[in-house]
Structure formats: C-alpha cells, structure tokens
Structure 1
Amino acid sequence: MLYQVALPLIPQVGGGTARTLVNYLGTPEAVFSAPKDRLAKIPRIGEVLVRSILANKEAALRQAEEVILRAEKEEVQLLYYTNTAYPDRLRDLPDAPLLLYYKGTANLNAPKVISIVGTRKSTEYGRVVTEQLVQDLVKHNALVVSGLAYGIDIISHRAALKEGLSTIGVMANSLETIYPTVHTRDAERMLQQGGLLSEFPFGTKPDAPRFPSRNRIIAGMADCTIVVESTSKGGSLISADIAHSYDREVMAVPGPITSETSQGCNQLIKSLKAVPYTRAKDLEELLNWDKALAPASLPKPVPALDLSGFPAEQQQVLRVLQQAGPTHIDVLSRHTQFTMGQLSSVLFTLEMSGLVKGMPGKLYGLV
C-alpha cells in the first residue's frame, strides 16, 4: 500500500500518467526503483516528469507513511484502482484517479448510481424538481452522487437523506475539511448514510482549479448525470461535458427561456448533449430501468449459439452476452478487456450481421 499511496503524491503524476507508469513497469514499487534511462523510455513520459519522479520519490514515500497512519486513525479507506471497492464505473476511464480517499458506509458499486448537479444559485423551481427527482429514485434504491456545494448539490444530498437513499459527496479538497463549512452537519449525516469521497490527500485545500477535477469523478461514477439548473456558463456544464465525453448518459431539466438558471440546461438539450428530464419515466426508459420494474415473466429459451465459426474477438463478446444476457458496454469492455474503440468495432460488425442488438442505456444483447 505504501507505494500505491505514494505514486500520486509525486508532483505532476496524475491518474492517467500513474497508470501508464504502472502498466509499463508492472507495479507502483517498480516506479520508485526504476533508473532514469528506463523511465525515459516509457511512452508519453517526458524528461520533466522523469526529473520530478527522481527528485520527489523519497519525499512522496515519507508523506505516504503519514497518510496511511492518518487514514487508519480517522477510518478513511484508501482505495487503489485495483481495489474491489473502487468504483467500477470510474476505474477504466482514461483519467480516473489512481487512488481515492473514502469515508462512509455506501457501496460505491451500487447497481444504480445517479449524479445530480446544478447551479449554486438555485431557484425554488430547482429545489422542487430536485426533491421530486430524488423521490422518484427511491423505488430504484439508487445511489445519489453530487458535490456537496451550495444550491442543487446540497438539495440533492438532503433530499436523499430524507428519503433514506445513500448519497456520496465528492469533494475538491481532502476529507478532513468540509467545504463549505455550513454543510458540515449534512456531511456528518452522510457518513452514516452514504459517504464522502476525494482523490486529494490530507491537507489539500478547496482551490478553484480542483473543482473541474472533482467533476470528472462525479460524472464518471454514475450511470447518468442529471443537470437540474445551470446558467449558460455554469460549472455543472463541465460535469455534463465530461460525462458526454465518457459516453455516459446526460439529462437536463428544461426550464423557462426567461430564466437565467435554465439557460445552460436548455442549451444542453438544444445541442443534443443531453436528453430532457421531465419525469421519472424519461430516466427509466433511457437507462432501461423500466423493464426492471415490470412484472417478472419466464424467459423464453434461447438456443445455444455455436461460436466456433466466429473470429476470436467476436467469440469473446458473444460468449459474455450468451452467459450474462443484455450487458452494459462498460461491463463488456471490462470482461473482454477490449478498448472502447475495439469493442465498438466488434459490436458494429455483430449488429450488421443481425446477431446483436443495441438497447437503451448502452446495453447490448443477443437477438
């Protein structure tokens, strides 16, 4: 654990860079023992980063020792990206954090996860919509994720607490500091009914540049990110753009064209970056959740498919779908260990052959 904690503490080593180093050298420990010439041969690792690793690795190890001791004392879980408790939806994204700091009781891999974001200057309309949205998530027992900020964020956390849903606050600073401090009592309740999550080590202050970084975790953890209210340049639009870049579902609540706090949402819908959210059924149909609520019926027997005549890549995909039934594209990627580009190409070929069909919620199944 020492080297896993220490690696992202080296200046200029972000999540993507850290995983490049580990993938090339084998383990985090090997990064700290690698000589300069071997580090320099790693793709996308330039001279500046090599110098930073060599100059700061001893200090990072000392800091990591302190972090581990403090985490044990304060009951903070250190989730390295191979840890089974690390959010699966986040794990395979190219810029996912190498290490997360987590304190709480919620399962970060809950079957259904929704992120709710919006403006800090929320209106009564935004409050009512957010509270109704969360109420509609109760029958799905969804995990609610947001950023603990003023406005829509804290409204969504409080609504989840009221309705008995677990809720996670993703922070732009370290866990020992609640920001804004006025939300400390809410955060304390969330530790018993959800949790707090951060990629930042103890002692990190909530500086402005860290908020966009925090937003990628909010977007990456969820099946869908819902923007309730946003101005035309609101920070929650960053979360929506990131979710869109991850090929995750994005929804936006339409609002009056005269309302400044609905301009961002209306623009997301207009530019086709978000699906309109007007009622719970919109979300359920988008994510294929409506079928989960339908009365159970006996499945029709499906004859076994002879895979022997298919290319190896197609066999891998077909085998997963044959065993698991309709499967999310992210799960398919993890099971087959294909890149998204690779997997999309194989799925396209299988769809054109009439063997596989795409379904709402980025699910794929056998025809």
Structure 2
Amino acid sequence: MLRLQNVPNVGDVIAKRLISYCGSAQEVFENKQRHLLKIDGIGSYTLKHLFDTAHLADAEREYQYILENQIDYCYFEDPNYPKHLKHCIDSPILLFKKGNMDLEGRKIISVVGTGNITSYGTAFCEEFIADLAPLNPIIVSGFAYGVDICIQREAINQGLQTIGCLAHGLNQIYPKVHAKYQNEVLNNGGFFTEFWSTSNPERENFLKRNRIIAGMSEATIVVESAEKGGSLVTADIANSYNRDVFALPGRSTDKYSVGCNNLIKQQKAHMLTSAADLIYLLNWELEEKTSQSVQKQLFVDLDETEQKIYGYLQREGKQLLDSIAIDCQLPIFKTSATLLNMEMKGVIRPLPGKLFEAV
C-alpha cells in the first residue's frame, strides 16, 4: 500500500481503481502490465513509474520509520477508517494517525478560517464550542494559525475531542510555535495525515490536506475569511462532497468577513449565528434539560408578540407571512416588522418562497 501511495501520477482515485481491478495493492504489482493498461487512467508513463523499484525501496524505509515510531495507520477499506471520509472518491488510500481518538458513532464537524482571527471570530469560537459541548462533538481543523488553533484549544477547554489534519508527516509540527499544544491534542484526540515522514509543509500539501478536513465531517464551518483563502477552498470541497457548509456573517466593511459573506450570498453556505443554527440544520438534539434551558433563555429576549409568533411557528412549522398574520390575529405590517426583529435576534429564519420558520 505504501508503495502504491508513493507512485507519481497515481492519485487516490486511480489507486482505488487499480486495487478494485486487481483485488489488493499487492496484486497490482503482480499483475501483467498489458492487463493494467485496460484500466481507465492508466497509460505507459504511469506504468513505468508503477514498476520502478525505487518506489519499493522508499516504501520499505517509510515502513521501518512507522514501526520504530509506533505510528498507527488505516487503509481506506478498514473498519476504523473515518466513515465520512470513506465515502469521498478522492479520500487517501492510507492515513497515518497518532493520539487518543474515538470516532465511533460520534458527531464530527470541521471548523476552519483565516489565520488572522479577530476578536469577533475569537468570541464566536468560545461561545460556539461552549454551546455545543453538551452534544460532545469531535472538532476537526488544520492546527494552523488563527481560527484553527483557536477552535481546537476551545474544544480542549470544554473537554471535547479535537483532531488536527496535517499537511506534512507526523515527525514534525507546523507551525513550530504550536508544538506547545501538541500533547494536549494528542491526549484529547490526535492528528491525521496522509503524508510520509519525508514530506514537508509545502503549499500543495495544504490544499490536499483540506479535502481530509472537509471529508471527515458532517459539516464544515467557516468562521472568518478574507475574499480569498484556504478555508474557502475547504468550503468548496465540502460542497462537492454534498456536505453542509456554514459561514459566520460579518459587517461588509470587515476584511475577514468578506469571504464568509460571499459564501452566504452565493448560497454556498448556511448563515451561522449560533450553535442553535447548526444543531437545527443537522438535526442534532440536545439533552432535554439543555433544550429547556435554551428555550427559557430564548423567551426572556422576546416580547409578547414575538413569543406568540415564535410559539406558532414551533407548532405549525414553516409558514407564509399572510398565514402568520391571520392565525396570530396581527396586522400584516406589524407581522412583517416583528418577523424582521426576530430574524435579527436569530430566533427565526426566512426561507425561499416567502416562508418563515423558527430556529
């Protein structure tokens, strides 16, 4: 498997085709070349590298490193391979991991964003993780500057598992300044990478790493982003995997909210103002006492008319403006103004077709 992973021009998609055709990675190298040429995507150039014995020597050296350093690993067909990632066509055929993680039956989300996190983004991360803590999700990120390390440290503070997806081998940490957080992550989750100990944090590795972040999770959340950035690439990948994407909105004048606002505007992401938005759209459920606590706090912030409309939408589900006004016995103009206020408070959301629903 290591030898196959190391062959130039054989990405994960082609590697899986080879394994499917031959039966295993070992049998790929035992097959006749004329048979392999029948596989879509395999040409003479690829075959030349496929049977180059230098790749076998490299694989043997890496395997020795894995044994000496007690690196755990999982093959894409193994039961312990991350289940969400397994469904991605270009997922790594081999993942290396280190730490103390338990993914079985767990809720998993990815949180990414700018390396230049602002006080607005930091405050959101703190509140968001604190509100999600009762659900005990696993938080995945890239262990990078800014949003990544902020969200992973908050996860640890709340006693949650967190996983860092790396763009290099497990023999190093990048950025080096984050080495001080390494043991905390290892004790409260761990690290995944597809890269060998000979791999350094090159630019193209970060782009490949992003698909693991997006693929491992039920949903990807972008906290802050400039108009361009790696977190937007991760959001695009998550969309290509048909995963939910969320983005934290910000002021139009804020540099590190432009990317998030564009995701929302282009309907590439749901607007995320609180943990409640994520819980609702992913159909997660809090424990009953937590739900009651949230609802009690919610109604403290609503006036009598708002409570009436909110209660109606909870009972009846999605409703048109006219239906809300008629059933709640309110004038249209007052209903419209009240709905706008409630939307600003984050307790309802507008939907296509002039519908409204409770959050």
TM-score, normalised on structure 1?
0.76
2:255 counterpart residue number: 260
Partners of 2:288 and 2:269 lie apart in 1 by 26
Q: 2:121 pairs with 117, 121, 126, which one?
A: 126
Determine helix, strand or coil for the equivalent of 1:119: coil
1:190 counterpart residue number: 185
1:10 counterpart residue number: 7
State the AA in 2 paired with 1:241.
D
Determine helix, strand or coil for the equivalent of 1:16: helix
1:109 Cα offset (Å): 4.0
1:48 Cα offset (Å): 1.9
Partners of 2:78 and 2:204 lie apart in 1 by 27
Written as runs of structure 1 = structure 2, the 5 A alignment for 1:8-87 is 8-54=5-51, 56=52, 58-87=53-82
Partners of 2:64 and 2:258 lie apart in 1 by 47
1:131 Cα offset (Å): 1.6
Q: 1:221 pairs with 202, 216, 220, which one?
A: 216
Q: 1:293 pairs with 287, 290, 302, which one?
A: 287
Equivalent residues of 1:126, 1:228 under 8 A apart: yes
1:177 Cα offset (Å): 1.0
1:353 counterpart residue number: none
Deviations along 1:326-356, whole A, 9 cap, x unmatched?
xxxxxxxxxxxxxxxxxxxxxxxxxxxxxxx
Equivalent residues of 1:252, 1:269 under 8 A apart: yes
Partners of 1:176 and 1:87 lie apart in 2 by 22
1:46 Cα offset (Å): 2.3
Deviations along 1:67-110, whole A, 9 cap, x unmatched?
22222222211111112211010012110000001001112345
2:106 counterpart residue number: 111
Determine helix, strand or coil for the equivalent of 1:33: coil
State the AA in 2 paired with 1:153.
D
Determine helix, strand or coil for the equivalent of 1:212: helix
Give the aligned CA root-mean-square deviation in angstroms.
1.3
2:198 counterpart residue number: 203
State the AA in 1 paired with 2:227.
S
Determine helix, strand or coil for the equivalent of 1:71: helix
2:347 counterpart residue number: none
Deviations along 1:201-243, whole A, 9 cap, x unmatched?
1110000011111000000000110000000112100000000
Partners of 1:132 and 1:51 lie apart in 2 by 54
Partners of 2:75 and 2:18 lie apart in 1 by 15
1:20 Cα offset (Å): 0.7
Determine helix, strand or coil for the equivalent of 2:258: helix
Number of equivalenced pairs: 289
Partners of 2:48 and 2:3 lie apart in 1 by 16
Partners of 1:106 and 1:253 lie apart in 2 by 28
State the AA in 2 paired with 1:256.
R
1:189 Cα offset (Å): 1.4
TM-score, normalised on structure 2?
0.78
State the AA in 1 paired with 2:90.
D
1:50 Cα offset (Å): 1.6
Written as runs of structure 1 = structure 2, the 5 A alignment for 1:311-326 is none
1:91 counterpart residue number: 86
Partners of 2:105 and 2:7 lie apart in 1 by 32
1:180 aligns with 2:175: yes
Partners of 2:50 and 2:133 lie apart in 1 by 47
Partners of 1:179 and 1:31 lie apart in 2 by 35
Partners of 2:275 and 2:12 lie apart in 1 by 35
Determine helix, strand or coil for the equivalent of 1:102: strand
Partners of 1:209 and 1:109 lie apart in 2 by 31
State the AA in 2 paired with 1:27.
S
Determine helix, strand or coil for the equivalent of 2:121: helix
Structure 2: stretches of 5+ with no match in the other structure = 290-359
Q: 2:229 pairs with 222, 229, 234, which one?
A: 234
Equivalent residues of 1:148, 1:154 under 8 A apart: yes
C-alpha spacing 1:260/1:110, structure 2 compared with 1 (3 Å): farther
C-alpha spacing 1:69/1:110, structure 2 compared with 1 (3 Å): farther
1:309 counterpart residue number: none
1:8 Cα offset (Å): 0.3
1:39 Cα offset (Å): 1.4
Larger Rg: 2
Equivalent residues of 1:86, 1:108 under 8 A apart: no
Q: Which runs of 4+ in 1 moved over 4 A?
A: none
